[in-house]
Structure formats: structure tokens, C-alpha cells
């Protein structure tokens, strides 16, 4: 009965609800755990030993794969910190991402296939280490004991936060759809001090107007916003 309920819940569940996201993807995980907990397989001794050894090898191999991925993430984190070293305390950072198919999707543990990149919120370390403002903090009062104070509330996105694609920064002003998904893009040239671009070292194509490259990194590049060129629409 429990499996049936979880299956029906998965079919009816939305992607986002109550300020949270990936609601629907949680039900298959619960389904798999409940299915595993409800089975009591019986096998001959020789088959049991073979199955046990196979599962042990799978676990060792999986652990080695995860360890290799984490080594790569350590490199990404060091590169991000090298870019954030140029950020002054009190600065406001706009996060952006090189989206596909502009460059190949990240590999080696940087993405959950067909779901989301796994480094989308890595830039939040700027809040802790650089005392900078980052608009994607999980500050939904229904979920976290955090609150964004004025005047930052206008440019924060605590509900369903996601990094904006780099290509949207070329639109001036941003489209209605872009502002709906990323409300802090409305007047980003005037509201922020830096753009933190997660992606390759050499972004292909041109650079949005008003941006000056500070550091080109392997995993994160930093641009300064030239406020002298920023003009908020009247």
C-alpha cells in the first residue's frame, strides 16, 4: 500500500511547493528505500556470498568515484576563492552561469543529469568569507531562520533561487520572462557591483556592456560592473 501511495504521489506532486523545489523527485527515492526495506530475499549460501562480494565491490568503486569527484570540486573551490579575493566587503555579487549548449555540460560530479548543476550555490561562500551580498540565499521565512534586510530584499530571490544564464545579461532591459524568473536582473547594472560567472576560463563570444574582467578562472570568473555606464530606466 505504501508503494502505491508513493507512486500516486509522484504522479501528482509539483516540482515546487511551499517555497521548496524538487518536490516530485523525492518520491522515487522514498519508493526505492521502501521497496528495499520491504524485501527479504532468500538465496543459497554460494549465491549470497557472490551477491555480497559484488555489492562490496560496487560500494568500493562508487566511493572511489565520489572521492575523485570531490578532488575536482576542491580545485573548483580554490579557483572560486581566488576570484572572490578581489571582492571588497559589502559588495553585491550577481551570479551568472554559462548555459548549454554554449559549452559542453559539466562532468565529474558537477551536475545531476537532467536535473540541475551541483555548483549553482557555491558562490554563497562570498557571504561568509568576503562579507558580500549574494542574492540566492535560502532565506524563506517558512523554511530557514534567515532574513534578508532592506535594502537587499528588492534584489534577493529566496524562493526557488537559481543562477541566471550568462546570455540574459546581454538583454537591456531584460525581457519580461527573464525578470519573472530572476527578479534581481531588472536593474542589475545599477544594483550590483560584480558578476560572478560560473563556467569555463574563456567565455565564448562578446561580453555584456558595462562589465570589466577582473579575473578569468578555470571554474569561476569575476567581472566588475562599471557603474558609470549603468543607467537605471526612468
Q: Which pLDDT does position 81 carry in this prediction?
A: 94
Q: Which pLDDT does position 120 carry in this prediction?
A: 77
Q: Which pLDDT does position 229 carry in this prediction?
A: 46
Which contacts of 180-185 are long-range, i.e. CB under 8 A and separated by 24 or more positions? 182/157, 183/155, 183/157, 184/94, 184/135, 184/154, 184/155, 184/156, 184/157
Q: Which pLDDT does position 116 carry in this prediction?
A: 66
Parse the chain into domains and list their residue ranges: 2-64, 79-229
User: What cell was used for 205?
Assistant: 563570444
Tell me the pLDDT tens digit for each residue of 36-68.
Answer: 887 777 888 888 888 889 989 999 998 887 777
Q: Span 7-12, mean pLDDT?
A: 84
Tell me the pLDDT tens digit for each residue of 103-131.
Answer: 455 556 666 666 667 777 888 899 999 99
Q: Is the pTM of this model over 0.95?
A: no
CA 165 – CA 157 distance, rounded (Å): 15
Q: Is the pLDDT of residue 18 over 70?
A: no
- Asked if 165 contacts 99 with a C-beta cutoff of 8 angstroms, the reply is yes
Tell me the pLDDT tens digit for each residue of 85-102.
Answer: 999 999 999 999 876 544
| Owner of C-alpha cell 558580500 | 132
Question: How far, rounded to the nearest angstrom, does the alpha carbon of residue 203 sit from its chain's CA centroid?
Answer: 19
Tell me the pLDDT tens digit for each residue of 171-192.
Answer: 877 888 888 888 888 889 999 9
Whether cis (ω within 30° of 0) applies to the bond prior to 24 is no
CA 165 – CA 208 distance, rounded (Å): 12
Distances (CA, A) of 36 to 29, 32, 47, 50, 57: 11, 6, 19, 19, 19
Pairing of strands 93-97, 16-17: unpaired
- Radius of gyration (Cα) for the chain, nearest Å? 22
More confident residue, 22 or 225: 225
174 CB neighbour count, 10 Å cutoff: 21
Contacts of 221 (CB under 8 A, 6+ apart): 83, 196, 197, 199, 201, 203, 213, 215
Q: Which pLDDT does position 231 carry in this prediction?
A: 46
Min mean pLDDT across 132-136, 182-186, 204-208 is at 204-208
Q: Span 22-27, mean pLDDT?
A: 82
Min mean pLDDT across 9-13, 160-164, 202-206 is at 202-206
Q: Which pLDDT does position 54 carry in this prediction?
A: 92
3 state DSSP class of 136 = coil
Amino acid at each position: 500500500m505504501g508503494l502505491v501511495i508513493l507512486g500516486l504521489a509522484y504522479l501528482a506532486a509539483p516540482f515546487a511547493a511551499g517555497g521548496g523545489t524538487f518536490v516530485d523527485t523525492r518520491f522515487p527515492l522514498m519508493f526505492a528505500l521502501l521497496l528495499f526495506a520491504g524485501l527479504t530475499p532468500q538465496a543459497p549460501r554460494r549465491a549470497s556470498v557472490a551477491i555480497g562480494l559484488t555489492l562490496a565491490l560496487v560500494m568500493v568503486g562508487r566511493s572511489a568515484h565520489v572521492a575523485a569527484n570531490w578532488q575536482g570540486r576542491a580545485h573548483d573551490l580554490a579557483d572560486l576563492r581566488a576570484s572572490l579575493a578581489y571582492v571588497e566587503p559589502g559588495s553585491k555579487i550577481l551570479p551568472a552561469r554559462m548555459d548549454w549548449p554554449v559549452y559542453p555540460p559539466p562532468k565529474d560530479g558537477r551536475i545531476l543529469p537532467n536535473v540541475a548543476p551541483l555548483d549553482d550555490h557555491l558562490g554563497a561562500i562570498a557571504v561568509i568569507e568576503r562579507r558580500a551580498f549574494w542574492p540566492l540565499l535560502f532565506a524563506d521565512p517558512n523554511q530557514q531562520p534567515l532574513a534578508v534586510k532592506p535594502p537587499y530584499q528588492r534584489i534577493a530571490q529566496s524562493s526557488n533561487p537559481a543562477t541566471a544564464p550568462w546570455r540574459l545579461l546581454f538583454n537591456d532591459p531584460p525581457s519580461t520572462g527573464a525578470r519573472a524568473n530572476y527578479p534581481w536582473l531588472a536593474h542589475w547594472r545599477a544594483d550590483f557591483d560584480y558578476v560572478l560567472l560560473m563556467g569555463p576560463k574563456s567565455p565564448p563570444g562578446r561580453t555584456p556592456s558595462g562589465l570589466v574582467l577582473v579575473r578569468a578562472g578555470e571554474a569561476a570568473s569575476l567581472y566588475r560592473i562599471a557603474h558609470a555606464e549603468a543607467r537605471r530606466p526612468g
